[in-house]
């Protein structure tokens, strides 16, 4: 095969779109399960994008906050690269059609947990992801170098001469091989492998599983961030997010008796780091208690400031202006994934990764709020520009198809999700992790999700110290980890 094959980008979220747009004029085939960002985490993002552009703020301060949140497990060079590129990333998004919320002459800047400055650029109040995705999707649709094919599932990688040279698609049961000059995985996170998540159901690590089947290295699989305030809908798996910004303007977390649950636990109270609040909420739920977010006293313009939260709550019969919002902890973001270099290269020649599926070290052991959309834009653009300049590759050898394999059936999938939630949720112990591994053992031959879940559990078992979002209740406390939660609760696995 000659080297005029397209770049194949798997994933139509923010990372995939930024990569595809930046690769112009090289031909790109963009693959996604649904059209125009539907089903992506990017579209659900509420808070916004971090950029140190406000008065008194600096790149150094953004770097410092990111490293602190990440428990210094981050790659400092990449963190600086991220923070330094933020202002230009915001300008680029504006040039590509996003209208961010303004404050007089400049952009309105919000503040979120872990940030020492107001630096969150947002659009449509709490509809930031949807607004940016709408603008980028329109650009991608009209870009002549992009052939966007939605309604497809990439389920195998093609290897040639020891290099990733294409993907196999499944479209309504029909298979097609697509050869490529480079394959970019922009397939998002793994939240949907847990029983409770803020992620869309498609955030199931399918890209990770593809790369894993082909022998790619994985890194930091155990680092999963849990969000403390997902809307607690009984029996639901994918839960709507109730943005942290509500606590930023004064909403309080309360137990079933109306007692403020963060009082006395951390100097920042309800705005303590996300992992600490999530553990507290999880503990309350594990012992049968309920937690709600009380926003009744807030003097805010709900329709303008929190239109997404308001509409979602009202849609479930909860009026947050007059009733406390029931909340649950939920799996939110995966810091681990495919280790990549500055340009998004994975350990497999010809295979790249960007966005949440990648582990490029910017988030360390715990992501700072609003840094992940920034990562998608900054590293997506870098990768797209790199691929644009790449020399064509000539393939001559025979092809080898590496399949991800069958997926779990619904009962097994439910068991997997419950197992990960109980064993690898916000609070972990060796005993529960081992029990989780044993529970999944019979499932390993039945579906790729089990193999992925197993690698997460094994990584969590291996890391015996608590750091960032990885909390081992049986660990010797790590000096950079923060306040221990109430230890009086036992954490047995329930199925
Ligand atoms: C509710 C919520 C709120 C958030 N709020 C913020 C925020 O305010 N700020 C912030 O910085 N971050 C936020 N995050 C995190 C952030 O949204 C995500 O980390 C980021 O959007 C991930 O982008 P991505 O492009 O990597 O993946 P996604 O946006 O999830 O896109 C993945 C794409 O891959 C496709 N795909 C997956 N597997 C396959 C396959 N096998 N074949 C074909 N296509 C496939 C999917 O169809 C989808 O198009 C939030 C996350 C959630 C869930």
Q: From the first residue on, what is the mean pLDDT of each consecutive set of 10 residues in the chain (495 residues)?
A: 79 98 98 93 95 96 96 97 98 98 90 88 93 98 98 97 95 95 98 98 97 97 97 94 89 96 91 90 93 95 92 96 97 98 97 98 95 98 96 77 96 98 97 98 98 98 96 70 38 29
In this structure, the answer to whether residues 117 and 34 fall within a common structural domain is yes
Per-residue pLDDT, 3: 53
State which of 313, 329, 345 marks the end of a domain. Answer: 329
**Domain end position, chosen among 329, 363, 387:** 329
Task: Tell me: do 173 and 242 sit in the same domain.
Answer: no
Ligand 1 neighbourhood includes 308 CB (under 6 angstroms): no
List the catalytic residue out of 160, 274, 404, 446: 274
Query: Do 108 and 38 have their domain in common?
Result: yes
Pocket test residue of 47, 231, 352, 372 for ligand 1, highest count of atoms within 8 A of CB: 372
CATH number at residue 56: 3.50.50.60
Task: Check residue 192 and report its DSSP letter.
Answer: G
Tokens of 128: 């930031």
Kindly state whether residues 206 and 185 are assigned to the same domain. Answer: yes
**What is the domain range of residue 284?**
226-329
Q: 53 in ligand 1 pocket by Cβ < 6 Å?
A: no
Euclidean distance between CA atoms 361 and 22, whole angstroms: 22
Report yes or no on 397 lying in a domain.
Answer: yes
203 and 85 within one domain: yes
274 is catalytic: yes
Q: Is residue 369 part of a domain?
A: yes
Separation in Å, CA 12 to CA 136, 147, 148, 149:
10, 12, 9, 9
Residues 69 and 208 in one domain: yes
- Verify that 91 and 198 share a domain, yes or no: yes
Question: Is the Cβ–Cβ distance between 392 and 181 less than 8 Å?
Answer: yes
- Is there a single domain that holds both residue 95 and residue 154? yes
Q: Report the CATH number at residue 277.
A: 3.90.700.10
- Find out whether the beta carbon of 67 lies less than 6 Å from any atom of ligand 1: no
3 state SS of 42:
helix
163 within a domain of the structure (yes/no): yes
Ligand 1, pocket-test mutation among 20, 36, 41, 367, most atoms within 8 A of CB: 41
Q: Does the N-terminal peptide bond of residue 252 adopt cis geometry, omega within 30 degrees of 0?
A: no
Tokens of 261: 């649950």
Instruction: List C-alpha distances in Å: 61 to 34, 180, 246, 335, 378.
Output: 38, 41, 24, 21, 18
Q: Is 15 in the pocket of ligand 1 (CB under 6 A)?
A: yes
Same-domain status, 418 and 396? no
- Structure-block tokens of residue 335: 């810091």
Structurally, the chain folds into a number of domains equal to: 3
Q: Report yes or no on 458 lying in a domain.
A: yes
Residue 85 forms part of a structural domain: yes
Nearest to 388 by CA among 20, 91, 53, 59: 20
């Amino acid at each position: 095969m000659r080297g005029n094959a397209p770049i194949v980008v798997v994933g139509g979220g923010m990372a995939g779109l930024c990569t595809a747009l930046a690769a112009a004029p090289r031909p790109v085939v963009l693959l996604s399960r649904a059209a125009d960002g539907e089903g992506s985490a990017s579209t659900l993002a509420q808070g916004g994008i971090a950029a140190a552009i406000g008065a008194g703020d600096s790149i150094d301060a953004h770097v410092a906050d990111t490293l602190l949140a990440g428990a210094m497990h981050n790659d400092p060079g990449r963190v600086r690269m991220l923070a330094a590129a933020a202002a230009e990333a915001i300008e680029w998004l504006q040039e590509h059609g996003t209208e961010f919320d303004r404050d007089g002459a400049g952009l309105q800047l919000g503040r979120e947990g872990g940030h020492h400055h107001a630096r969150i650029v947002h659009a449509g109040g709490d509809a930031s992801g949807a607004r940016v995705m709408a603008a980028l999707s329109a650009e991608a649709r009209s870009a002549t170098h992009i052939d966007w094919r939605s309604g497809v599932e990439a389920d195998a990688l093609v290897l040639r001469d020891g290099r990733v040279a294409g993907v196999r698609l499944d479209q309504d049961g029909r298979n097609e091989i697509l050869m490529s000059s480079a394959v970019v995985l922009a397939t998002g996170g793994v939240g949907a492998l847990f029983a409770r998540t803020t992620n869309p159901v498609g955030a199931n690590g399918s890209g990770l599983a593809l790369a894993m089947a082909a022998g790619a290295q994985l890194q930091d699989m155990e680092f999963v961030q849990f969000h403390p305030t997902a809307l607690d809908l009984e029996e639901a798996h994918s839960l709507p997010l109730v943005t942290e910004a509500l606590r930023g303007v004064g909403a309080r977390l309360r137990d079933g008796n109306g007692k403020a649950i963060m009082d006395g636990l951390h100097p920042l109270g309800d705005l303590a780091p996300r992992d600490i609040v999530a553990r507290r909420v999880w503990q309350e739920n594990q012992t049968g208690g309920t937690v709600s977010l009380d926003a009744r006293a807030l003097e805010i313009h709900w329709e303008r400031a929190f239109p997404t939260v308001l509409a979602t709550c009202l849609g479930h019969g909860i009026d947050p202006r007059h009733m406390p919002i029931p909340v649950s902890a939920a799996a939110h973001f995966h810091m681990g994934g495919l280790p990549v270099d500055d340009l998004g290269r994975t350990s497999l020649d010809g295979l790249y990764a960007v966005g949440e599926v990648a582990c490029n070290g910017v988030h360390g052991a715990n992501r700072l709020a609003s840094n992940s959309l920034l990562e998608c834009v900054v590293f997506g653009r870098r990768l797209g520009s790199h691929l644009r300049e790449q020399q064509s590759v000539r393939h001559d050898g025979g092809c080898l198809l590496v399949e991800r394999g069958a997926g779990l059936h619904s009962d097994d999938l439910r068991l997997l999700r419950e197992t990960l939630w109980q064993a690898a949720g916000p609070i972990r112990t060796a005993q529960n992790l081992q029990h989780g591994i044993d529970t999944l053992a019979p499932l390993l031959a039945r579906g790729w999700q089990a193999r992925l879940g197993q690698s997460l559990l094994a990584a969590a078992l291996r890391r015996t110290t608590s750091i960032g979002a990885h909390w081992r209740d049986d660990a010797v406390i790590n000096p950079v980890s923060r306040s221990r939660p109430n230890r009086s609760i036992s954490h047995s696995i329930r199925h």
